[in-house]
Amino acid sequence: MLALGQDEIAKYPFLADAGQYLKDKGFTLEQFGSDPDLKQLVDKAFERIRVAANGKIYKSDLIGDQVSKEAALPREVFSFLLAIVLLKLSGMHTLIKRFALAEARRAEKYLEKDLANISDESKKELAIRIIDDLFSIQVEKLDDYFVIAVSDYLKHSINFHEREWKLINRHVENGQVFLTPHETVRLIRKELGTYINSKIINAKTPTMIPGFEDSVNKLVLLSKKFITFTVTTGEYPPCIKHAIEELEKGENLPHSGRFMLGAFLLSKGQSVEQIAPLFKNAPDYNERVTLYQLNHLAGTSGSGTQYICPSCEKLKTQDLCFAIPECDNIINPLQFGKKRK
Amino acid sequence: MQEADIKFLEDSFKKYYFEHFDLIRVPERTFEREFGYQKFNSGMTRHISIKDDKELHLLFMQNIPSDVYCSNAYYSFPNLPMNEKDWKEADLIFDIDAKDLNLSCRENHTVSICNECKQVSKISEHCLKCNSTKIEKKSLPCKNCIDSSKTEVSKLSEILIDDLAIDQENIHVYFSGNEGFHVYVHGSQFQQIGSRERSELADYIMFNGIIPETFGMKKFKPNRSSFPDFNEKGWRGRFSKQVFSSKSKRSKIISELLVNGYSSFQKTLDNVSENIGVKIDPNVTMDIHRIFRLPGSINSKSGLTKILCKNLTKFDPYSEASFLSDESVEVFANCPIEFSLKNKKFGPFINEKVTVPTFAAVYMVCKKLATIA
Ligand code: SF4
Ligand SMILES: [Zn+2]
Ligand SMILES: [Zn+2]
């Protein structure tokens, strides 16, 4: 764990151990629900989520990377931690996802600024260490650039579809890729989002805290706005529908999502040829890769063994699950609509 | 293939295996590799694990395989089905094959064999005798094919060493046993990357997907100072050498490029790509579960051995990779193309009974251009 200063925790609140932080500051969650002064912070936390849900980045009380006033610091961190509590209590996955993404963008700004900070070495060092600790990427400063190993670069850049991110369009030398601070941080955007998302998902859900009910109810209402698919039974499970919709919208479905979709449809008896066109809209569509992967899944190339659809459990950890009541009691999407208890 | 031909090939291969166990060695980290083999006229047996040289030699003697393979990947359980193997990492591998190089010499030494009536004709899409379209093409690669493949190998090595910081000692070049080379890279930073990453690496090496901006050409207000310089590293340097050809011409050519504009520059890139991009087979490089011909084993497409090339420039597959015996055999040959092996010339043979050394007979039988008399 990184030892963080006050400023740093405000910038990167997801690095803090929530329970420990509250304890250190001498607070309990219950106090936030009852003490009228502290209760403001719950509203602030709700606001932080609302802004994120609308796709904006929460405007913090930090000015530049300095704290506006002494008191603002814990408030910044508290509003983040309370937001997580609210999200957990509401159980709304769509909101968690949006919140994690917006918080990642917010952190991204600070990381970039810290990396580019030439007057304060320690700021740059911290940013480099965060990237290393969280994503195991060793970044080195070389003249005006940041360099990372080509293999690390590839692992992250393959999720981008813009041609400028292709390795061929990069300055490569000595097994390393040269990046600007902006590009360095941009490279880990998705992982930063995933990291924050999984931190929230893995956080324990507390029992309802008196005084939090209103905000939680408002969140549940808010999340309704973002649910796009309609529930129908006897068809594909929501995870699969969601994946298909993402692809149809031309969104970049992560590799794990493609794996799930491909394995699911193959198990349902569709052929590689039938499935491949589904991926045509993906921004990074590459016929060679798609066919290779599908054939590999289907076991028609090489191994001869067919892969099976991942379990619901696994899909939950990959943020691919959008469970609905009909999902109760099943352990694999393939059982959807079949098994009833 | 007919019984007699199979028996002849099996006997010849067996003799080679028996006499050349020194060439057939298990690779490092044997336990973690998947092995596989094929017998004449039958399918592939995969998911085998092998402990040591002795076990490997036993496999050869018991099965007399036509081809033997080994994974470039390392697994915890190589003998289990693919999804239970537990993939750990894989050496980087590149396949350079003369047939992918668009060489003009190809049509001079490629024949079409009709699957219906066995007619052998100069290369065409249908049989000249019975008009069937069930055609199998066989090529007897020439010196130009081999030399051009070597050029690609050298281009590849340069990129691996200069751009990707791979040690020369960790690059091993093998003659594939037929028309090209397999280049292995051990212990690099790329051991653990998956197939999408490898596909991207292949594009880098092939000079695929480049945008004009990378070489300083912008859509709006392009600026001559952002064009690459002669002594730059990586693709910008190689691009300069190819496009400017000399330092003195650089300035003038940049002016021309600027006048011709953005979309013309994209065309220049496509043309340049044909020359400076390395012609590897991207599907091979990105496949992390494939098994590859085992060094020291015979390639049943030719009867030649897959061997390590210690000195690529001097390497001559037709004298160095042919290990079969000189014993004479009588064959019916229908081989309209001349070839040379072990510094002896053979053919062309037009539907005739000839007596040739075993190594030449095997070569023709493997290419389906002769049968045992
Ligand atoms: S519970 Fe299973 S089937 Fe339902 S959405 Fe989640 S992963 Fe899909
Ligand atoms: Zn015919
Ligand atoms: Zn040739």
In whole angstroms, give the CA distance from residue A118 to residue A78: 30
Q: Is there a contact between A260 and A242 (Cβ–Cβ < 8 Å)?
A: no
Same domain, B183 and B225: no
Task: Report whether A182 contacts A165 (CB < 8 A).
Answer: no
Pairing of strands A172-173, A176-179: antiparallel
pLDDT for residue B123 is more than 60:
yes
Whether residue B156 is contained in a domain is answered as no
Specify if B36 maps to a domain: yes
| Interface probe with A: pick from B44, B71, B80, B164, most Cβ of A within 10 Å | B164
Q: Are residues B56 and B76 in the same domain?
A: yes
Do residue A299 and residue B82 have CB atoms under 8 angstroms apart?
Answer: yes
Residues B179 and B82 in one domain: yes
According to the model, what pLDDT value does residue B363 have? 97
- Whether B81 sits inside 8 A of A305 (CB atoms) is yes
On whether both B213 and B326 belong to a single domain, the answer is no
Single-letter residue type at B326: D
Ligand 1 atom nearest to CA at A321: 6
Please state the domain extents for chain A. 6-119+190-222, 138-187, 238-335
Do B220 and B317 have their domain in common? no
How many domains does one find in chain B? 2
The pLDDT assigned to A209 comes to 87
Of A145-159, A283-297, B271-285, minimum mean pLDDT range: A283-297
- A298: which chain B residues are within 8 Å (Cβ-Cβ)? none
Q: What is the pLDDT of residues A283-320, one digit of tens each?
A: 677 788 888 888 888 877 655 567 788 999 889 888 89
Whether B268 and B363 map to the same domain: the answer is no
Whole-number Å distance between alpha carbons of B356 and B364: 10
Q: Residue A315: how many CA atoms within 13 Å on its side-chain side? A: 28
Residue A261 makes CB contacts below 8 A (sequence gap 6+) with A240, A243, A244, A247, A253, A275, A278
CATH value at residue B180: 3.90.920.10
- Classify residue B155: in a domain, yes or no: no
Q: Of B163, B203, B281, B316, which one is the catalytic site residue?
A: B281
pLDDT above 70 covers what percent of chain B?
100
- Top-confidence residue, A304 or B26: B26
Distance from CA of B82 to the nearest CA of A (A): 5
Q: Cα separation of B354 and B356, whole Å?
A: 6
- Which range is least confidently modeled, A222-236, A277-291, B109-123, B237-251? A222-236
Is residue B202 assigned to a domain? no
Chain B residue closest in CA terms to A149: B189
Among A19-33, A224-238, A327-341, B180-194, the least confident range: A224-238
Give long-range contacts, CB 8 A cutoff, 24+ apart: B159-166: B159/B204, B159/B205, B159/B278, B160/B185, B162/B233, B162/B234, B163/A172, B163/A173, B163/A174, B163/A175, B163/B204, B163/B233, B163/B234, B163/B235, B164/A150, B164/A172, B164/A175, B164/B188, B164/B190, B165/A174, B165/A175, B165/A176, B165/B189, B166/A175
Mean residue pLDDT of chain B comes to: 94
Distance between CA atoms of A295 and A276, rounded to whole angstroms?
10
Domain residues for the domain of B87 are 3-96+171-195+282-331+354-367
B359/B243 same-domain check: no
Q: Cα distance from A320 to chain B (closest Cα, Å)? A: 21
* Residue A165 with chain B: CB contacts under 8 Å: none
State the smallest CA–CA distance between residue A274 and chain B in angstroms. 21
A126 vs B212: which has the higher pLDDT = B212
How far, in Å, is the centroid of ligand 3 from the Cα of B139? 9
Q: What is the rounded distance in angstroms from the CA atom of residue A213 to the CA atom of residue A199? A: 23
Residue B359, Ramachandran bin (φ over 0: left; ψ between -120 and 50: alpha; else beta): alpha
Q: Is B172 helix (H, G, I), strand (E, B) or coil?
A: strand
Angle between helices B262-276 and B250-260 (to 10 degrees): 130
pLDDT number for residue B131: 86
CB A139 within 8 A of CB A132: yes
CB burial readout A9-42, b (16+ within 10 A) else e: bbbbbbbbebeebbeeeebebeebbeeeebbebb
User: Which of A150, A161, A301 is best to mutate for the B interface (most B CBs within 10 A)?
Assistant: A150
Are the C-beta atoms of residues A165 and B209 closer than 8 Å to each other? no
Residues of B within 8 A of A178 (CB-CB) are: none
Cα A238 to middle of ligand 1, angstroms: 6
| pLDDT (0 to 100) of residue A234 | 53
- For every residue of B49-97, DSSP letters joined together read ---SHHHHHHHHHHH--SEEEEESEEESSTTS-GGGS-EEEE-EEEEEE
Q: What are phi and psi of A64, to 5 degrees?
A: 60, -125
- Provide the number of CB pairs (under 8 Å) joining chain A to chain B: 103
Last residue of a domain, one of B256, B276, B296: B276
Three-class secondary structure of residue B333 per DSSP: strand
10 Å CB burial of residue A307 (0-12, 13-18, 19+) is middle
Q: Is the CB of A33 under 6 A from ligand 1?
A: no
Give CA–CA dist B360/B329, Å, rounded. 9
pLDDT at A229 over 50: no
For A173, the closest of B163, B197, B199 (CB atoms) is B163
Say whether both B253 and B182 belong to one domain.
Answer: no
For ligand 1, whether the C-beta of A315 sits within 6 Å is yes
Looking at B235, B251, B276, the residue that finishes a domain is: B276
**Which listed residue (B5, B67, B91, B95) is catalytic?**
B95
In this predicted structure, what is the pLDDT of residue A340?
43
Q: Are residues B295 and B360 in the same domain?
A: yes
Q: Would you state the pLDDT for residue B219?
A: 87
Residue B101 lies in a domain: no
> For chain B, what is the radius of gyration of the CA atoms?
24
Say whether B95 is catalytic. yes
Q: Under 8 Å CB-to-CB from A213, ≥6 apart: which residues?
A: none
- Name the pLDDT band for A60 (thresholds 50, 70, 90): low
Query: Using CA positions, which residue lies closest to atom 7 of ligand 1?
Result: A312
Chain B contact set for A286 (CB, 8 A): 199
- Ligand lying closest to the C-alpha of residue A317: 1
Contact B181, B153 (CB under 8 A): yes
What pLDDT does residue A341 have? 35
User: Using the beta-carbon criterion (under 8 Å), do B199 and A149 form an inter-chain contact?
Assistant: no
8 Å CB contact of A151 and B286: no
User: For chain B, how long is the longest CA-to-CA vector?
Assistant: 74
Based on the fold, state whether residues B362 and B236 are members of the same structural domain. no
Is B53 annotated in the active site?
Answer: no
Residue B57 confidence (pLDDT) above 70: yes
| Residue A321 marked ligand-binding | yes
**Which residues of chain A are within 8 Å of residue B269 when distances are taken between CB atoms?**
none
CA distance B150 to B144: 10
Average pLDDT of the segment spanning A36-62: 83
- The single-letter DSSP state of residue B305 is E
Q: Which of A63-67, B96-100, B138-142, B245-249 is the least confident region?
A: A63-67
**R_g of chain A, CA atoms, integer Å:** 22
Which chain A residues have any C-beta within 8 angstroms of a chain B C-beta? 149-151, 154-155, 157-158, 163-164, 166-176, 255, 286, 288-289, 292-293, 296, 299, 301-305, 307-308
Contact assessment for residue B234 and residue A167, using Cβ atoms and an 8 Å cutoff: no
Q: How far apart are CA B213 and CA B239, in angstroms?
A: 13
Under 8 Å between Cβ of A140 and A115? no
Instruction: Count Cβ atoms below 10 Å from residue B110 Cβ, excluding itself.
Output: 16
Among residues B248, B276, B304, the one where a domain terminates is B276
Q: Pick the atom of ligand 1 nearest to A238's CA.
A: 5
Q: Is B281 a catalytic residue?
A: yes
What's the B313 CA to ligand 3 centre distance in angstroms?
Answer: 17
Write the pLDDT tens digit of every residue in B190-224: 999 999 999 999 999 999 999 999 999 988 888 88
